[in-house]
Structure 1
């Protein structure tokens, strides 16, 4: 929920948290301060994280009020990284987290947590987000440590030279163990995409890893990088992802889509590779439908 208000002459020189309380009396001052601290407040179009900042007459104050469960502060330690060298690091993004800042959230994002880790290494620049995972998707996220590394991996992604492997638990049984979907994708609603013409070309390779009771564990290898590509291609073939209610999937604790691995070559030719284990909810859904947990150790 987004709240907007304008400071009148009576709020000139008043602290931001006090002024916001007067503009939005339905919120407590402690909640307002929390929103400000988490990067959820903008004053005249600029994010402000200092509650004591003084307002000016005419300032537009905008607050992004998120559900309490979205406020999850966390940080990465060295032991939690999937991969690290002098140029790159990889983390296992949890389902339910935003991978990067939004206009109304800075803390509690993967980007912010990685920025905090980089500071412990003496790297003062913010984390560079060079690829994204949907909020409901878990798994490998790669971050470059330098501008040169960022330019290299960005070029590799653009040219399709980064191998990406996803796992998905889908409803239904694929008719084949191996298949490909080559179908254009276009935006069909404000937060929804679909196979449509005209659209951007999209190709995904699929194979069955295991079959369960009315479901299958599927590996997906997207050869292009369209928004919601795997989700849309699976739904298009009648195999919606469990938990992906946007595209017809059944309710579940989370969307059962996981970026299992990413691999590419560094500028010097070395292999950079990261593999992410699945979380408890993903494993539990597999077990519930009779998919052998051994399938998750491949």
Structure 2
């Protein structure tokens, strides 16, 4: 929820937190301070994270209000990285985290945590988000450490030369062990996409890699990069992902979609590869449905 108000003469000279409470009486001062601290406040179009900022008459204040349970501190240490070299680092994004800042938050996003890590190693480079995972998806995210590395991986992504492997749990039995979906995707709602014409070209290859008594583990290799592509293509096949309520999946603690691996060739010709382990919720979902996992998982 976005709240917008303009400071008047009554709020001029007040602290930002005091003025915000006056303008948004439905929020407590503690809640306002948390929103400011987490990067969910702008004043006159600029993000402000200092509650004592003095207001001026006419300042437009925008607060992004999210559910209290969404506030979650995250950070990365060198030992937690999936990959780090001179040009790239990779992290295992947890399900439930936003990849990048939103009108609701900066702090608590993967982008912010990576930016803090870069500063901790003496780098002044920003955390450049060059590919995204949905909030409910876990797995590999690769960040370039330089402007040149960002240009290189961005070009590889645009050319379809970054191999991405996802794992998904579905409840229904696929009709084939391997298949490919070539079906255009278009936006069909405020936060929904679907197979539709006209739409953007979208192709995904699927392979069943695990069978259980109550579900199936499917490997997905997207050959294009459309929003919600794997989710939409599986739902189009009558195989909505477990936990994906947007597209008809069975209820679960999280959406069971995981970016298992990403691989591409660096500018110097060497390989860049990262592989992310499964979290406890994904493993438990497989175990609960009798789906065996290979030892390397």
What TM-score bracket applies, with the shorter chain setting the length?
Answer: over 0.9
Partner residue in 1 for 2:253: 253
> 2: distance between equivalents of 1:296 and 1:280?
15
What's the offset of the Cα at 1:296? 6.4
What's the offset of the Cα at 1:248? 0.3
**Contact 1:209/1:295, CA 8 A, preserved across alignment:** no
Partner residue in 2 for 1:215: 215
Counterpart mapping for 1:1-298 below 5 A? 1-292=1-292, 294-295=293-294, 297-298=296-297
SS of residue paired to 1:262: strand
Unaligned runs of 5+ in 2: none
Per-residue displacement from partner, 1:40-61 (whole Å, max 9, x unpaired)?
0111222111111111112121
The structure 1 segments of at least 4 consecutive aligned residues displaced by more than 3 Å after TM superposition are none
Per-residue displacement from partner, 1:272-293 (whole Å, max 9, x unpaired)?
000000100000011111111x
What's the offset of the Cα at 1:29? 1.1
Per-residue displacement from partner, 1:250-290 (whole Å, max 9, x unpaired)?
11000000000000000011000000001000000111111
**Contact 1:243/1:256, CA 8 A, preserved across alignment:** yes
> 2: distance between equivalents of 1:207 and 1:177?
6
What's the offset of the Cα at 1:30? 1.7
May I ask how many residue pairs the two structures share in their alignment? 297
**Contact 1:173/1:214, CA 8 A, preserved across alignment:** no
**Contact 1:278/1:296, CA 8 A, preserved across alignment:** no
Q: Which moved more, 1:72-81 or 1:20-29?
A: 20-29
**Contact 2:214/2:290, CA 8 A, preserved across alignment:** no
Per-residue displacement from partner, 1:15-59 (whole Å, max 9, x unpaired)?
101100111122221211111010001112221111111111121
Normalising by the residue count of structure 1, what TM-score does the alignment of the two structures yield? 0.98
> 1: distance between equivalents of 2:30 and 2:184?
48
RMSD across aligned positions (CA): 1.0
What's the offset of the Cα at 1:214? 3.5
What's the offset of the Cα at 1:3? 1.7
Normalising by the residue count of structure 2, what TM-score does the alignment of the two structures yield? 0.98
> 2: distance between equivalents of 1:65 and 1:149?
35
Q: Which moved more, 1:17-26 or 1:242-251?
A: 17-26
What's the offset of the Cα at 1:215? 1.5
Per-residue displacement from partner, 1:201-251 (whole Å, max 9, x unpaired)?
000000000111242100000000000000000000000000000000011
Unaligned runs of 5+ in 1: none
> 2: distance between equivalents of 1:23 and 1:231?
41
Q: Which moved more, 1:219-228 or 1:46-55?
A: 46-55
